[in-house]
Amino acid sequence: MRKNKKGNEISFIGKKDWNGKSSLNFGGGNRNTKKSERKSIADAQLQMTVQNVKRLIVALQNQQDASSKTRDGKNQRVIIGIIVDLQKEVHVLADELNASMEGSKAPTEERLRGGFTVVCEAAGAIEQQCELQETEVDCNEAAISGWNDIASVITNSLQNENGKPSPKKASLVKLQNNEAEELFISIVKPIASMLNVRWSAEDSTIVPVSLFTKKSSHRKILALLNCLGAFLAGFGFNLQLQEHVCRLVTRIIIPLLEFDLRSQFTGTRSFPISNVLSIQVAAMHTVVRILRWKQCSSALLAPQMVDMDDVNDPNEMKTSSKLLASLVQIINSDDYLQLEDTNWVCQACQCLTTILENMNALKGKQKSLYGVDVSGQNQIANIYKWVHKTLQCEIDRRLSKGHSLWWYSLDLLKTVVRLYPKVCSQYWSLFLPQVTSYSPSKKTKGSTTVDLLSIMSLQNESSMLSEEKVMAKLCCKEILEALPLHLWSRSGYLAGRIESSLNLVIRSTAVHLSIDCPQKEQVATYSLAVTIFVSIPFEKYILLKEPAIEVIDQMGKNYSMYGLHGGLGLEVVVQSLANCMGGQETPDGEISSLPLPTCEWLKRPASAIFLSRIFNKMAEISSHEVIEKGFQTMIQMTLFVRIIRSSTWILMGDKSRLDALVELTTLLLASEDNALKIIGADLLSAFIIGRKGAGKFEGDIPFAVYAYLDTVLTVHDSKVRCSALNTLSLLEFNTWKRLIVSDQNPLQLMMQMSLEYSGDLDSKVRSEACKALGNVMTTFMRGISWLPMGSPVRDCLHQNIEETIQVAASAMEDSNANVRSMALFAIGNIAFDTAMSQEWEFIKLLPMLQLCDLSYNRLFDNNEKVINNAIRTSGNVFHLANIEGCGEKTVALDQTSWVRLCSLFLQTLGSKINRAIQDVIEVSNERSWKQRMNSKKQAWGACQTCSPILQLSGKLQGIDREAVRNGILQLVYCVEYAQKTNEKITTAAVSSLSEIGKEMWLSIFNTDGTRGLCLSACLAIASLGSLPFGVKENVHAIMLTILPCLDDHDITTCLKHNGEHNEIGQKNIEYLYGWMVHNEVGPVLFEIFGKNLSNPSLRYDVSITQKFHSRAIFEARKRRRSVGDYNAMLDSEEDSDEDEL
């Protein structure tokens, strides 16, 4: 006999052998045999319990059928008895399943699945009877127990070896998609029934008050929600019908979260706060479980991503199913913060954090569909305020389980600041100190306001506070990264406020760096210190320089301390020091500068110990024949590379430092270890980059070190070859002069590596080789002018340039997009720098027609980067063809081909410009945000490239007038829609239009009104006060060129042009009149404008018409009086009544 947990006896008959003796073994025998026998017993017990549950389910169904026919009260009592027995057996079965999964070897997948399916079937049968027996307490208790049993089995199936839930670990219980869907429906339907909602209908949900006041209803809804949360954790990925998830949240979860406790229980003595909050916590937990699965997250949050600021009616807001709004509504209730139990508010923080993270991820994917900036919603601002309130609460900082309320609220703050930094600029003062004096040792309990700095400065009376301090430092880091400090430096008031706050933060950080603390807290402190140096523009906040120097000085002292004995802290210190040294490559390819405090510290005697320690370490490393590739050695060499790159000037005046650099670099490049070779190449690159920015720098690395790079190119590791190519691309001209005529000339090998079939097999290496060739050719072309004619180096450069062009032209047909892109980059560099040199001997080396043909083909590439580089390269080659004397000789050899190319390019580039314009005119959901951004980039490049093509077209005979007209028209449209496109496109289009001569305006356009359209577009943006000076100059140049070409039709087109955003009105005509007077335009144009303005259909004020007429008369008089008293003429103009009405 055995007993379950409630003491119910359940018989078990052991398997007997042939002579009637039981097969159960009680002691003795082999241990493995005993384990196997115990497992067999457990399996047999499990199977018997499964059969018992199935038998009771059948009995319950049969009894229910009989009861429905006779309607006898005796049958009802029998049914209740069966339900109670079934509940007990289900509980036993759940315990057995849990015990079997906790063992060293779980049952087979089929057996677990069968047992779990029976548990679910029994719970569903009990729930069905519970709906029929609503008044019976036993039925309700049995249903609650059944749902709790299902939740316990699922939870145990997700446990790892330590007994903790692991969401990434697959469940031991496996279900098919259809089985999971059936279980989901069986759980959700009872919840919908308790909320008086029909699951398949679309009626509104009104949560009944009895759900919170009636004990049995409260316990059951909790059991169902907990079971639902467990199901979603284990089988959420099985839900293929995502509308189920949306319906669950909109019909059940959100109504529960939106339940207004105060409005429902106004006037009663006791509010069932604990009941309401426990249900809402379970609902929040369910939401968190849903959002762990990507497909469910997208289905749930996509309908929620609506702009809540557009909703004015509160009732409309409720019916719009806004998950974020319902949660913020809960946390905004001040009454809840006074409760002793803070578990519910911790769960609210976690739920909000998860929702915001998922909404941000979804916003990036579906920006083209929704285009909503959640950071502008009031809910985000309310979260900032609420987190501030939670930090002021006099509550227990530590829960019995999990983290504290402070931890959860700070985690929420960290997420909100990171995802929505714009709102942070309004509420930062709630979390950073706003006092002029601050004591780091000040206790929080007695302070009036708790901020991040006060939490950071709490004394470690117990280890419980460490996690809160870590989170406070991370929040402070996120706030510093989010604040627009560059912009605020222009405002005296804002700059003063933030400067005083940051001063306290920086000084507190310096204090924390000097204190021993747990590792997590140490990492957070150093992370905050790095953010201080990276985010603050110290040149605009001078008062912060000295406190920051204290921070970097303490980090240097810590390095010297850890450098003596190593330890776990060394990695954090070294990496943080490296990040405070600048020298990092930015996304646009630039190298970040050395922060001002770091620069000042390195110049002071206080840094001598640090510098001595790092150089001594490098000398010690290079003193060994073989470098020990330890982790601490590698990270210290990485720090050394960063110091050399950003602070090369520290090598001046100390030969020992330069010698240490040379010895270490040589040893690293000669090492057999590929990782060390890469560091050696990086160190050499750092020295080259740093020396360029160090001004006058005396001393160099021996030529033999540079020459050694030729051998590094042949290393098998592709990462090493890429690093060596990058270093070669940085070499200065004086170094290349020696390399190119030496036996170690790497240029031929670099060319070979660029080719696909006869070169390097790795596309990354081929791409890096093409990029390096482009940079090397730029170095050649900029330094070759200093070489005398006929010198061996100059002749060698000629040959290498010609070979590089052919290699790059071949690489433009590579199968890899990055290689094609870098090959175009190389050709573009060569063409640009050749045009700058304007030397015929170099220009004749370039096969310009071949390069234009190849570039044109790449305009239709399937890779956006290749297209962008093809546009740039084409512009550089056409610019080369426009050079007077040199380029014209090449063009004259085959005008027909150049006419063909100009037409093709203008048509294709015009279509790319038009695509970007159509994107801003007609926003379509079919085109993603990324596609529209790429179109803008291509349009910007196309506007620039059109300029040299149009210039060359004006010199050619037989050019396609329609292609030229279309190209110019697209540039005009860019100006017309300047308010919708971006500034780069407008600037490029205006620049290209300003290069068009008067002859082309007259020859290409006759009476179609295009010149008038261009004038109207120019007038619309010329009158803008925010237009950059360079752009305004070009706009005026276009107007000055185009005005003499205008006829009546053009002027009428201009005056009638009423574009959506560039409507020409009285203000624009007033601006035109003043500009024409300033530029002394002739009387004919004033007269023509005056005549056209007199047209009644235009409805311009008669005063502006009279101004043009009067100015025409004045300009005519001025021209007739070539001699005479000019002042008298001015007087007569002032006294004339011809301009009066």
Per-residue tokens: 665: 């670099």
Q: Is the pLDDT of residue 1 over 50?
A: no
The stretch 397-421 carries a mean pLDDT of 78
The residue written with tokens 């998922």 in the block is: 358
Confidence of residue 426 (pLDDT cuts 50, 70, 90): confident
Q: For 2, phi and psi rounded to 5 degrees? A: -135, 160
pLDDT in tens, 1092-1125: 888 777 777 888 888 888 888 887 887 776 545 5
Q: Is the pLDDT of residue 953 over 80?
A: yes
The residue written with tokens 């300003």 in the block is: 994
C-alpha distance from residue 219 to each of 130, 134, 278, 771 (Å): 14, 15, 10, 68
pLDDT of residue 553: 94
The mean-pLDDT minimum among 52-56, 240-244, 516-520, 932-936 falls in 240-244
pLDDT of residue 362: 56
* pTM strictly above 0.75: no
The mean-pLDDT minimum among 84-98, 239-253, 390-404 falls in 390-404
pLDDT of residue 568: 57
Q: Which residue in 420, 409, 419, 368 sits closest to 385, CA to CA?
A: 409
Q: Is the pLDDT of residue 34 over 60?
A: no
Return the C-alpha torsion angle 279, 151, 178, 284, nearest 10: 30
pLDDT of residue 73: 60
- Percent pLDDT > 70 in the chain is 76
The stretch 679-705 carries a mean pLDDT of 81
The stretch 763-787 carries a mean pLDDT of 87
Beta carbons within 8 Å of 158's beta carbon, 6+ residues apart: 165, 166, 167, 169, 171, 172, 233, 234
User: Which of the two residues, 819 and 1013, has the higher pLDDT score?
Assistant: 819
Q: For 434, phi and psi rounded to 5 degrees? A: -120, 30
Cα 1057 off chain centre by:
41
Per-residue tokens: 1059: 């574009």
C-alpha distance from residue 1098 to each of 231, 1013, 1018, 1084 (Å): 71, 16, 19, 21
Q: Is the pLDDT of residue 202 over 70?
A: no
Query: Residue length, the chain?
Result: 1141
Whole-angstrom Cα distance, residue 346 to residue 273?
A: 16
The stretch 729-754 carries a mean pLDDT of 87
Confidence of residue 29 (pLDDT cuts 50, 70, 90): very low
Whole-angstrom Cα distance, residue 111 to residue 115?
A: 6
pLDDT of residue 126: 82
The stretch 541-547 carries a mean pLDDT of 93
Whole-angstrom Cα distance, residue 728 to residue 774?
A: 11
The mean-pLDDT minimum among 60-74, 652-666, 784-798 falls in 60-74
The mean-pLDDT minimum among 315-324, 602-611, 716-725 falls in 315-324
The residue written with tokens 């093709």 in the block is: 904
Q: Is the pLDDT of residue 551 over 90?
A: yes
User: Which of the two residues, 465 and 1082, has the higher pLDDT score?
Assistant: 1082
Amino acid making up residue 441 = S
Beta carbons within 10 angstroms of residue 841's beta carbon: 11
Beta carbons within 10 angstroms of residue 631's beta carbon: 10
Q: In the chain, what is the straight-line distance between the N-terminal and C-terminal CA atoms, in Å?
A: 118
Cα 728 off chain centre by:
33
Q: What is the CA radius of gyration of the chain?
A: 39
Rounded to the nearest integer, the mean pLDDT of the chain is 77
E strands present in 714-827: none
The mean-pLDDT minimum among 311-320, 354-363, 811-820 falls in 311-320
pLDDT in tens, 444-475: 444 467 888 888 887 655 545 788 889 999 99
Q: Is the pLDDT of residue 489 over 80?
A: yes
Whole-angstrom Cα distance, residue 1019 to residue 1026?
A: 14
pLDDT in tens, 979-1020: 888 889 999 999 999 998 888 888 877 767 788 888 888 888
User: 3-state class of 71 per DSSP?
Assistant: coil
Per-residue tokens: 1006: 């006759």
pLDDT of residue 937: 92
User: 3-state class of 464 per DSSP?
Assistant: helix
Per-residue tokens: 550: 């204290």
Q: Is the pLDDT of residue 944 over 90?
A: yes
The residue written with tokens 């002859």 in the block is: 999
User: Which of the two residues, 162 and 230, has the higher pLDDT score?
Assistant: 230
Whole-angstrom Cα distance, residue 283 to residue 232?
A: 12
Q: Is the pLDDT of residue 714 over 60?
A: yes
pLDDT of residue 366: 40
Beta carbons within 10 angstroms of residue 582's beta carbon: 20
Whole-angstrom Cα distance, residue 479 to residue 425?
A: 9
pLDDT of residue 107: 60
Q: Do 515 and 460 touch, CB atoms closer than 8 A? A: no
- Percent pLDDT > 90 in the chain is 17
Q: Do 885 and 839 touch, CB atoms closer than 8 A? A: no
Is the Cα torsion angle 898, 899, 900, 902 positive or negative in sign?
A: positive
pLDDT of residue 334: 65
E strands present in 847-892: none
Q: Do 766 and 814 touch, CB atoms closer than 8 A? A: yes
> SS3 breakdown of the chain: % helix, strand, coil, rounded to 5?
70, 0, 30
pLDDT of residue 782: 82
The stretch 1015-1029 carries a mean pLDDT of 79
Alpha helix segments (H runs only) across 199-342: 210-213, 215-235, 242-248, 254-257, 261-264, 273-291, 294-301, 314-319, 323-331
pLDDT of residue 616: 87
Beta carbons within 10 angstroms of residue 569's beta carbon: 18
pLDDT in tens, 76-94: 778 888 888 888 888 888 8
pLDDT of residue 743: 83
By CB atoms closer than 10 A (0-12, 13-18, 19+), residue 375 is: middle
Q: Do 146 and 131 touch, CB atoms closer than 8 A? A: no
User: Which of the two residues, 462 and 378, has the higher pLDDT score?
Assistant: 378
User: Which of the two residues, 843 and 317, has the higher pLDDT score?
Assistant: 843
Q: Do 106 and 172 touch, CB atoms closer than 8 A? A: yes
The stretch 571-599 carries a mean pLDDT of 84
Q: For 92, phi and psi rounded to 5 degrees? A: -65, -45
Whole-angstrom Cα distance, residue 51 to residue 1033?
A: 91
Amino acid making up residue 214 = K
Per-residue tokens: 415: 């997420």
User: 3-state class of 333 per DSSP?
Assistant: coil
Return the C-alpha torsion angle 471, 474, 475, 477, nearest 10: 160
pLDDT of residue 989: 92
User: 3-state class of 269 per DSSP?
Assistant: coil
Confidence of residue 477 (pLDDT cuts 50, 70, 90): very high
